[in-house]
Chain A
Amino acid sequence: MSVALSAPDISRALIRISHEILEANPSTHQITLLGIPTRGAHLALRIAATMSQIAAHGIAVGMLDITMHRDDLRMRPPRPIMPTSIPNTGIEGREVVLIDDVLFSGRTIRAALDALGEIGRPHTVQLAVLVDRGHRELPIRADFVGKNLPTSIAQSVKVQLTEIDGVDEVLIEGN
């Protein structure tokens, strides 16, 4: 087990992503951040806080549970359903940025796109992830990446955040 990102690394990556999202979306009032529970939701809150400081106004932030839209539900033990909360501004016509901790097969993001489609029609959907570990199974890419982490398929990437795990770090397990 090795530490791929330490707490300062994570903090720097999130600040950079915050700047990049603002840079890519000049009409900053139109941005809606949606974190994918559980860790993506906490990352979304952190990025929203940083972006609000930089832009000097509040950034709409919420969370989107995608469990019911997964295509691999039948292959795994039952997953708990997490809360979904969409900001009052909705997602219709907005620049939606999905936020997750790890981008791997891309199936979570595909499910998120389906879940979004049921709620409304955003102007754009972008994707920010803390770690991109490769091994995509679908034609999906991230617009904002904290760290590209080349891994073997046998390894697992574990993101720990202070809000849940009491510590900020990204670990690679296995060889």
Chain B
Amino acid sequence: MRHLLSISDLSKAQAISILDTATELARVSDGAVKKLPTLRGRTIVNLFAEDSTRTRISFEAAAKRLSADVINFSAKGSSLSKGESLKDTALTLQAMGADAVVIRHSASGAPQRLADSEWMLGSVINAGDGTHEHPSQALLDAFTIRKHLSKGSPDLVGIRVAIVGDVLHSRVARSNVLLLTLLGATVTLVAPPTLLPVGVESWPVKISYDLDSVLATVDVVMMLRVQQERMSDLFFPNAREYSRYFGLNADRLKLMSPDSIVMHPGPMNRGLEIAAEVADSARSVIVEQVANGVSVRMAILYVLLAAQPLEAGSK
């Protein structure tokens, strides 16, 4: 495996092996020593052509804990804002000897373009492209769910997940549907019909328009951010109505089963899709998702960069 562009490139065994690696690496993060020498001398470029807090910092922390050198590169303050093309940017990165590029881009497919081209030779890691995919987020969500609910099983068979909200604009939802179903979980999408993508009936999921009827039947409620910056149209009458029908508030929290957890990929619109008291409740694992993100991204970097697929020598 050289690139991580989409969850659909992963087999079930590969996905589980990334989660297992992350489990071991999480113990490193918990220990006194937080740095490993594994990627010493490698250069990882964070190419963020779209705003990000968590993902960029998380990839940076992961790379640094593995002793890689990190170059941060964001659209603002770089030649990308002067209109430099992706190709010219990639050629520059190649000339500087980047071993891997972590790319976030507003255009769906930009990471794929980078990986398929011969502009650069390093690994490409998709950190979110348009409304397409966000594979590292799905892996950290699966990791978090597995840690809380799988009872020692390596996969997620039997676990029921509801993904609620703006599925249409959500790359997190796309990657999660692929990964969670790959790992054996049952996924229900809950959203107003206007916020479900065309062709959603062909996805391996159940669909519901009624949040209240779903809440009691699931183990995980994953709230999605309402992506107002991507909304060029009117998808719901107003924020208050959306919040009333699809927001997770304290009353709805009471409908959920006692062991269930609340997730959100961040950043949250408190008061819109999730109430502050829910986000800060004991059920919420939102802050833990961020911590797990570092371990999972360390595992991704380890799997893609630490080893070269040459023939194995015998001991």
Contact = CB atoms under 8 A, between A and B. Distances in A.
Interface of A: 65, 68-69, 73-84, 102, 104, 114, 118-119, 156-157
A69 B310 contact: no
Contacts of A156: 314-315
Interface stretch (B3-11, B82-90, B283-291, B301-309): B301-309
B27 A84 contact: yes
Q: Chain A CB within 10 Å — which of B25, B28, B302, B315 has the most?
A: B315
B312 interface: yes
Given A73-B307, A74-B308, A80 B37 contact: no
Given A69-B36, A69-B37, A78-B307, A104 B315 contact: yes
Contact of B24 (A69, A75, A82, A157): A82
Contact of A73 (B24, B31, B306): B306
Given A74-B306, A76-B308, 7 more contacts: A76-B312, A76-B313, A77-B309, A81-B20, A81-B21, A119-B33, A156-B315
Contacts of A119: 31-33
A156 B315 CA distance: 6
Q: Chain B CB within 10 Å — which of A69, A75, A102, A157 has the most?
A: A75
Contacts of A73: 38, 306-307
A81 B315 contact: no
Contacts of A69: 36-38
Contacts of A83: 24, 27
Nearest to B17: A80
A102 B36 CA distance: 25
A75 B37 contact: no
B14 to A, nearest CB: 10
B37 A68 contact: yes
Given A77-B309, A79-B307, A157 B315 contact: yes
Main secondary structure of the interface of B (DSSP, over half): loop
Contact of B307 (A76, A82, A102, A104): A76
Contacts of B20: 80-81
Interface of B: 17, 20-21, 24-25, 27-28, 31-33, 35-38, 66, 302-303, 306-310, 312-315
Nearest to A65: B24
A78 B310 CA distance: 10
Contacts of A76: 307-308, 310, 312-313
A81 B306 CA distance: 12
Contact of A77 (B25, B31, B312, B315): B312
B11 to A, nearest CB: 14
A82 to B, nearest CB: 7
A78 B303 contact: yes
A68 B39 CA distance: 9
Nearest to B34: A118
A118 B27 CA distance: 14
A9 B33 CA distance: 40
B310 to A, nearest CB: 6
A158 to B, nearest CB: 8
A130 B165 CA distance: 59
The 5 closest A-B pairs by CB, nearest first: A156-B314, A78-B307, A81-B24, A118-B33, A68-B36
A111 B31 CA distance: 18
B306 A78 contact: yes
A81 B307 contact: no
A102 B315 CA distance: 8
Nearest to A101: B315
Contacts of B25: 81
18 contacts: A68-B66, A68-B302, A69-B36, A74-B307, A74-B308, A75-B310, A76-B307, A76-B308, A77-B308, A78-B302, A78-B303, A81-B21, A82-B24, A84-B24, A102-B315, A114-B37, A156-B315, A157-B315
Nearest to A70: B38
A68 B33 CA distance: 13
Nearest to B35: A118
Contacts of B17: 80
A36 to B, nearest CB: 12
B302 A81 contact: yes
Contacts of B310: 75-77
A79 B313 CA distance: 13
